[in-house]
Structure 1
């Protein structure tokens, strides 16, 4: 009767695709399904099994690692309110202004910096869309290139640490491993850094090639504008606008990589540092603090409600034997570990067309993790592959959230079809990185 667990999985997946709230679909349908099974097939599930649920929920709530989620969210929203993104874009644009495509390159670099200091995709895409898209269009950039650069750069926060995706991935993998080797969040951060930087480098290379082949698509900034901007206190602008955020990034990531602080402790440092940067930018006020606290509470509540729903789903799914059934099915199908990994990567990529990364993490990852452990695969490596793959879920139409965010702030002249066309080269670049890490892991990091 293990197929009942598969039916539960399919029903929940279909309802989520139809737009029902993820948290309540995961928890509510799982409870209702288990109640039905306990009545008509009590030998497979009894309601007394739910006595285990409170302890599991408390295990989630008391998880020290997950404390990093609200703190990193606070850090990101505070930096957004500080006006840091606007100042960074203006400064970087003038630094790269003489290079053809320099404005687009500056957007990529600022996206990387904001990724390492915020990790909030919506805030990054909206901010850069409001600031840089009108400027890029005014300076003659091709619409497809401009929107592609902004949307893809805004998603870098999903792979460049500190990343909320990596925190949730590590926790989900560990809770699904059933005593197998755990994945440390700090190790996941360290392993994700190089692939993230390579991704940034490939974005820049693509822009340079694109601007050389099609010069009219990415013109340079006129020399007189650059001269005027650099003429007044340019050095102090660089120190205040560029070096201080970089210093915050170095402190947060450096404390994690050197072992001085855990990711949770470093998130507290980041939240405090972001507040100081906002004060230095002279944007801090009680109103800003209240808005940041409210938005942090809203986003954190959303994540944790989904996590509690996923905990309920996992309990019912495992009690019905769904994980054992899938494991036996995969093992008997004679799939090699690499074939199974490739299959999971394809499933995650396709699912990203329709559902959000959080839903994929909490629905698909708990199901496949025990099978990866049965194959004795390195979960650090698998976690990085999943994170890189999940990043594409923000860009793949029709439901890529970064595309929605950008369309919401783009001028009316920018069509949805142009956004879809513009993002294709960057999705291809991301798939290249996924393939590189999958087939040549030793090139990317030494842990495998």
Structure 2
């Protein structure tokens, strides 16, 4: 039994990965691995530990923001706000090489700032932006990559569901996380756009500008701004209420839902039927997230109980290079897990294990949290289980092979690594806005 206990942390991860490769849903892979090892280690008495872990995660007030932000995201989709945003932005950027790809990045950021749900961004852009890019003969790799990169900005641009979960686990202020995510997200947007422009102007046929007859007139450009006004007002209401301290993130989410309903009513796009469909879909998505949180809580409790946290801490402490060695071990730990785990589950597993090690090494908790989020965004794009890959595949169907989507992620993963390095070298890039708002 002592031998089993000694190698239990490694065995738990091996079993978890095996279940994932066999196609078992992530929530049940996590929960069944935790339950099996709990029964092996401590017998039937372990049920108290598992019940406590489940109750602890489900009884967290901060997490109420999750179903509210999900509902807001579904309402946006039902009211066709995403398609109007894309149309408005690309009318202004159509004369620029790479304009449609840049539009995907900008609209992805706006969607992220409204809803904080990555699936809404990737699927919405996949359905709306990709046909336009194919029509104008954009390079397929650049098109697919820019859609996934833009859609995943909802992970970093507040309000982010993953930041809500991270803040609930660590006690780091969610408002400060949102502010740091906004500053880091703006940097990442600029890096994405710079890469698209470089590719577009390096070779003309990679991302050509729209033909003159297809470009919007000045009158059409200004008319399109009407469709941006209400969504931008919604962003200001949600983030403004949180950043000014007028509302908690959970209350800000409620403001967002109310604002989205009002926009839908004013624009006459939200009927009772669409409202009921939105609530039903939100309940399904919230249930999925809830099961992932429960599964991850069970796995984490058992992993900690068998000495897994200490095992990883000792590995980090023994990494060469002192505190910087610990930091890069932590980053490698998250990147490797991100290849296999859904991001919500990754936060639940990795945060209690690796964050205390990094903070105890002398790094600022908020700065580390923002770097964690940037690296976590890579998990959406990293094969073999990057969720943005499968969100986009569900949107495009058989038109694009999974292999092409995998290849399209590579340059944008590299850009995200560059962003993480910049945040490490220049910490102020992550902390200047939270420090400014705290004064």
Same fold (TM over 0.5): yes
Q: Distance in 2 between matches of 1:92 and 1:334?
A: 48
Determine if the alignment matches structure 1 residue 213 to structure 2 residue 202.
yes
- More deviation in 300-309 or 53-62? 53-62
Pair 1:132 & 2:129 matched: yes
Is 1:204 aligned to 2:193, yes or no? yes
Closer, same or farther in 2 for the Cα pair 1:392/1:51, shift >3 Å?
same
Separation in 1, partners of 2:342, 2:206: 32
Task: List alignment gaps of at least 5 residues for structure 2.
Answer: none
In the alignment, the residues of structure 2 paired with residue 275 and residue 326 of structure 1 have an alpha-carbon distance, to the nearest angstrom, of 46
Question: C-alpha distance in 2, partners of 1:210/1:288?
Answer: 41
Q: Is residue 308 from structure 1 mapped to residue 294 from structure 2 by the alignment?
A: yes
Q: Is the contact between residue 115 and residue 158 of structure 1 (CA under 8 Å) also seen in structure 2? A: yes
Query: What secondary structure sits across from 1:162 in the alignment?
Result: coil
Of 241, 259, 272, the residue aligned with 1:286 is 272
Query: Is the CA contact 2:156–2:182 (under 8 Å) kept in the aligned structure 1?
Result: yes
Among 11, 27, 30, the alignment partner of 2:34 is 30
CA distance in 2, matches of 1:124, 1:247: 19
After TM superposition, the structure 1 stretch with the greater mean CA deviation from structure 2, 325-334 or 137-146, is 325-334
- Equivalent in 3, 6, 23 of residue 3 of structure 1: 6
Secondary structure at the aligned position of 1:283 is classed as coil
Structure 1: any 5+ residue segments left out of the alignment? Answer: 40-46, 175-181
- The Cα shift of 1:12 comes to 2.8
Q: Which structure 2 residues correspond to residues 435-446 of structure 1 after superposition, within 5 A?
A: 435-446=421-432
| Rounded Cα–Cα distance in structure 1 between residues aligned with 2:243 and 2:177 | 10
Q: Alpha-carbon deviation of 1:279?
A: 1.9
1:330 & 1:344 partners in 2: Cα distance?
A: 7
Deviation at 1:311, TM superposition (A): 2.3
1:246 Cα offset (Å): 0.9
Query: What is the aligned residue count?
Result: 430
> Contact 2:293–2:345 at 8 Å: present in 1 too?
no
Q: How does 1:266-277 map to 2 (within 5 A)?
A: 266-277=252-263
Q: Structure 1 residue 249: deviation in Å?
A: 0.6
Q: Between 161-170 and 390-399, report the one with greater CA deviation.
A: 390-399
Partner of 2:340: 354
Q: How many Å apart are 1:199 and its aligned residue?
A: 0.7
Q: How much does 1:386 deviate?
A: 1.5
Q: What is aligned with 2:72? A: 75
TM-score by length of 1: 0.89
Residue 225 (structure 2) aligns with: 238
Aligned-pair CA distance for 1:62: 2.5
Q: 1:64: Cα distance to partner?
A: 1.3
Moved more, 212-221 or 12-21: 12-21
Cα drift, residue 267 of structure 1 = 0.5
Please report the RMSD computed on the Cα atoms of aligned residues, expressed in angstroms.
2.3
TM-score, normalising length from structure 2? Answer: 0.90
Match of 1:226 in 2: 215
Measured in 1, the distance between the counterparts of 2:42 and 2:360 equals 30
2:70 & 2:224 partners in 1: Cα distance? 27
Deviations 1:245-270 (A, max 9, x none): 11111111111111111101100001
Residues 306-361 of structure 1: per-residue CA shift (max 9 Å, x gap): 22222222332333333234434543566622212211212322332333212222
Is the 8 Å Cα contact of residues 81 and 288 (structure 1) preserved in structure 2? yes
Q: What corresponds to 1:320 in structure 2?
A: 306
Q: Do 2:183 and 2:429's aligned partners in 1 also have CA atoms closer than 8 Å?
A: no
Check whether the contact 1:92–1:110 (CA below 8 A) recurs between aligned residues: yes
Report 1:148-187 matches (<5 A). Answer: 148-172=145-169, 174=170, 182-187=171-176
Write the deviation string for residues 399-418 of structure 1: whole angstroms up to 9, x where unpaired.
32222222333375544443
Q: Quick one: structure 1 residues 318 and 397, their matched pair in 2 at CA, closer, same or farther if it must change by over 3 Å?
A: closer
* Number of the residue aligned with 1:258: 244
Q: How far did 1:56 drift?
A: 4.3
Call closer, same or farther: CA 1:18–1:346 in 2, change over 3 Å.
Answer: farther
Determine whether 1:121 maps to 2:118. Answer: yes
Q: Which residue of 1 aligns with 2:81?
A: 84
CA deviation digits over 1:100-154, x for unaligned, max 9?
2222222211111011112222222222111121111111212121111111111
For 1:117, what is the secondary structure of its paired residue? helix
- Do residues 423 (structure 1) and 420 (structure 2) align? no
1:393 lines up with 2:390 in the alignment: no
Contact 1:82 1:283 in 2 (8 A): yes
Q: Sort the Cα spacing of 1:315 and 1:293 in 2 relative to 1 into closer, same or farther, 3 A.
A: same
With 279-288 and 191-200 compared, the bigger mean Cα shift is at 279-288
Contact 1:12 1:25 in 2 (8 A): yes
